Chains A and B, each alone.
Chain A
């Protein structure tokens, strides 16, 4: 899941200041689950902006709100067609992908981001998320016992821990587990320590140039089963 956090109200107010009529668009998928930009957050933000405007006195924004199931899919974006004819700008609470999908679909409407997209991760406990995948395009979790050193080691190194690890924690952050200590312990538990003894060459960054594009050849499942 993509994790994000809402931008400070002050920054959002600065971004929307040139526009009178603003459509706040939420996203019903990742942004809803990480409490950054679902239907509930859209309503909260709408209220907060109205209250700030009432206190400030001299601003005259008009807000509308709508939450799409997903901002990153063209078919859902079509639902915005009827809603944007009278708006001056869209304030998207989608992740960076959602904001750009809106910009591509609606070339004449300015769109501003309401969240800072942070990472791809998992929910740890209420209100806590941890990064787990860097989308490097060359998954090596088989070699590292299902623990990603590119994401979880601050240096993203591939051949074992640096000498900075202490008490199983990272030299960059004493509260953060050393990914390579976790990898070692799990490989040992699985009887696969030989995987750590292998040499892993430098990563191939060209295999996944930015911006990345994935083109899939349609496959009929089961076609090889006779």
Chain B
């Protein structure tokens, strides 16, 4: 039996659509609520980011509670940067108790790229060890070997970077994530269909679902900024040129068009099991992208 609506969908042959919301820095959550409201019925699940880019914000778990309250399906993003194994397990217990069971296991960006550069980086575990930790909890024990009162069950995801400029070590890590219990992968931003096609030819040997990451760009400047400052992101020059070719104020529309075109190709060529749209602070355009890409989700 599936542990969540999202897991049920994962187990089907339907095309999967997820997106993400970034919580605010502060307690004013009305904009996040608005984003959840306009997205919850258009996607299969909504990730809530965990201090994305190491910038301190309202927590992922709090955001997931809001998604639940508003009738959506949350995916809890969990990084190992800020919590040791005690804190991670405790948050997982709380998540499960509130029916938040979809968890995306990430190592987390370096403290150095964020807004609290003097903080102590924790990294008591990495993404693979976190996957194993959760599978251990599902066996009724904590990672200290002690019995848990009540046994939680989760649906676990991880990330992979098909466009990494040095792919071999990333693929070894991907296989270790599969072995550690990842059921689905949301990839880092894909910009070239060819690299996704190549990656899927390799990944199809594993019994997991791949959701191709789609980053929504709003200008050439943003693309260049991400290349320079966001860990791992590589936006190709052709996309930057395309964004630069439109007149001022039309970048956002161009970004929607590029994302929708990519999604259409992925669907037409059956290149992945689904997509994960990352609008990075521009969440309100996600419905427009889905409409332009002619993607409709039947939520149960």
Q: Which residues of A contact B (CB under 8 A)?
A: 154-168, 170-173, 180-181, 184, 193, 196-197, 199, 201-203, 205
Contacts and interface: CB of A to CB of B under 8 A. Distances in A.
B203 to A, nearest CB: 15
A167 B159 contact: no
Interface residues of B, number: 39
B176 A165 contact: no
B132 interface: yes
- 6 cross-chain pairs, A with B, having the tightest CB-CB distances, nearest first: A164-B231, A171-B231, A172-B112, A160-B173, A172-B110, A157-B126
Interface of B: 81, 85, 107-113, 121, 123-129, 132-133, 143, 159-161, 164-166, 168-170, 172-173, 175-176, 179-180, 188, 231-232, 234
B107 A196 contact: no
Contacts of B179: 199
B165 A167 contact: yes
A199 B128 contact: yes
B107 A181 contact: no
A155 B110 contact: yes
A211 to B, nearest CB: 18
A170 B234 CA distance: 14
B46 to A, nearest CB: 21
A205 B122 CA distance: 13
Given A161-B169, A184-B166, A197-B175, 16 more contacts: A155-B81, A159-B129, A159-B173, A159-B176, A160-B176, A161-B170, A162-B231, A168-B166, A171-B231, A171-B232, A172-B111, A172-B112, A184-B168, A197-B172, A199-B132, A202-B125
Contacts of B166: 165, 168, 181, 184
A205 B125 CA distance: 12
Contact of A180 (B121, B132, B161, B169): B169
Contacts of A199: 128, 132, 176, 179-180
18 contacts: A156-B123, A159-B176, A160-B172, A162-B107, A163-B161, A163-B232, A164-B110, A164-B113, A164-B231, A165-B164, A165-B166, A170-B110, A171-B112, A171-B113, A171-B232, A199-B132, A202-B124, A202-B133
Contacts of B165: 166-167
B234 A166 contact: yes
A78 B113 CA distance: 48
